[in-house]
């Protein structure tokens, strides 16, 4: 059952983050931008196939000048939309995006300005806090997303304070191992697990942590549903298999996606999802979030309480914020 589309609207980025492979991607500065016409066609088909969530991602998604039109189109189809941005371009697009992004994530990698900018290799710390003010003035309720590494995990308490000071939810995003990145140490995993326990205004999928403690995906008993529940589309208008991070094959979208999903190629990758040699030990969050969507294993059950808490926080806080904004404007 398809749930999610990870739609790469470009591979380009205006930052060079230490933990991200895009700074070293061969198309970092030459990647095309997903075309609006293709996007609208693809997303309409995906909606008909039952896809409920679409992550407009990159690179930096706001580098695609049609990003607001894409978000609006998907939102009107009833999809839950999400964007993660370094915020450098957010003020420019903020009014156009307002009301069309269900999950708006602002990246902040450290509570310390110097460290954050060093990690990103671009001066964008102040931009995050400016963007929070802009978003709130428009009735938006962004999250702060903290990509935790072995060098920054002990900053989690201070990051939590920042989230509380701004009345936002902190998303804890454990860095995963891929493309030579070592991932989190056991010490870091245990620190995060202990800290998030029982706290409000913080989201950490406990299934992720348990998966890491268990050594990641086991190809003998795979937990990954990357092909069954996720469709990944590139800026070149191709479906990437089995996932973006371990891409083995691309299929041009030159026929209806429904037909492509029934092809022998897709069936092959579905039958082997989580079972390829390169799947051993995988902990890529992008695919385990939808993989754990239904209570089908222990990881799924661990995920439920975290998701319920996050949803409750978002709904309550958004409701309060909108009331306050109405009162202020009145």
CATH number at residue 67: 3.20.20.70
DSSP structure class, residue 25: -
Residue 26 has pLDDT above 70, yes or no: no
pLDDT of residue 328: 60
Region of 106 please: left (phi>0), alpha (psi -120 to 50) or beta: beta
Average pLDDT of the residues in 297-324: 75
Average pLDDT of the residues in 40-55: 97
Q: What is the pLDDT of residues 111-158, one digit of tens each?
A: 999 999 999 999 999 999 999 999 999 999 999 999 999 999 999 999
pLDDT band at 306 (very low <50, low <70, confident <90, very high): confident
Domain count for the chain, please give it.
1
Residue 255 has pLDDT above 80, yes or no: yes
Q: What is the pLDDT of residues 177-195, one digit of tens each?
A: 765 566 789 999 999 999 9
E-strand spans in 40-114?
53-57, 80-85, 103-107
DSSP structure class, residue 235: T
Mean pLDDT check: name the lowest of 175-189, 206-220, 284-298, 311-325: 311-325
Average pLDDT of the residues in 251-258: 98
Domain that holds residue 291: 4-329
What is the percent of the chain with per-residue pLDDT over 90, rounded to a whole number? 73
Q: What is the pLDDT of residues 203-244, one digit of tens each?
A: 999 899 999 999 999 999 999 999 999 999 999 999 999 999
226 burial via Cβ count (<10 Å: 0-12, 13-18, 19+): buried
């Amino acid at each position: 059952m398809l749930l999610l589309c990870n739609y790469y609207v470009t591979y380009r980025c205006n930052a060079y983050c230490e933990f991200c492979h895009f700074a070293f991607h061969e198309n970092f500065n030459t990647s095309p931008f997903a075309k609006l016409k293709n996007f609208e066609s693809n997303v309409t088909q995906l909606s008909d196939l039952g896809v409920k969530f679409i992550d407009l991602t990159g690179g930096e998604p706001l580098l695609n000048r049609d990003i607001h039109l894409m978000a609006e189109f998907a939102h009107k189809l009833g999809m839950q939309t999400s964007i993660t941005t370094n915020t450098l371009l957010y003020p420019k697009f903020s009014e156009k995006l307002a009301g069309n992004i269900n999950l708006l994530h602002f990246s902040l990698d450290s509570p310390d300005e110097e460290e954050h900018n060093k990690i990103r290799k671009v001066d964008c710390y102040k931009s995050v806090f400016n963007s929070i003010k802009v978003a709130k003035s428009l009735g938006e309720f962004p999250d702060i997303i903290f990509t935790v590494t072995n060098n920054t995990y002990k900053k989690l308490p201070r990051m939590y304070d920042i989230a509380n000071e701004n009345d936002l939810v902190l998303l804890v995003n454990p860095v995963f191992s891929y493309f030579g990145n070592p991932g989190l140490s056991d010490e870091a995993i245990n620190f995060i697990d202990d800290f998030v326990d029982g706290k409000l205004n913080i989201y950490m999928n406990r299934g992720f942590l348990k998966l890491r403690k268990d050594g990641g995906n086991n190809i003998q008993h795979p937990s990954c549903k990357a092909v069954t529940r996720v469709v990944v589309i590139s800026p070149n208008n191709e479906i990437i298999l089995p996932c973006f991070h371990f891409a083995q094959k691309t299929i041009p979208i030159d026929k209806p996606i429904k037909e492509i999903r029934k092809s022998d190629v897709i069936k092959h990758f579905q039958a082997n999802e989580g079972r390829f040699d390169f799947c051993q030990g995988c902990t890529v969050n992008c695919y385990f979030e939808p993989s754990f969507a239904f209570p089908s294993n222990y990881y799924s059950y661990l995920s439920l309480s975290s998701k319920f808490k996050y949803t409750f926080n978002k709904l309550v806080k958004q409701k309060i914020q909108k009331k306050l904004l109405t009162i202020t404007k009145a």
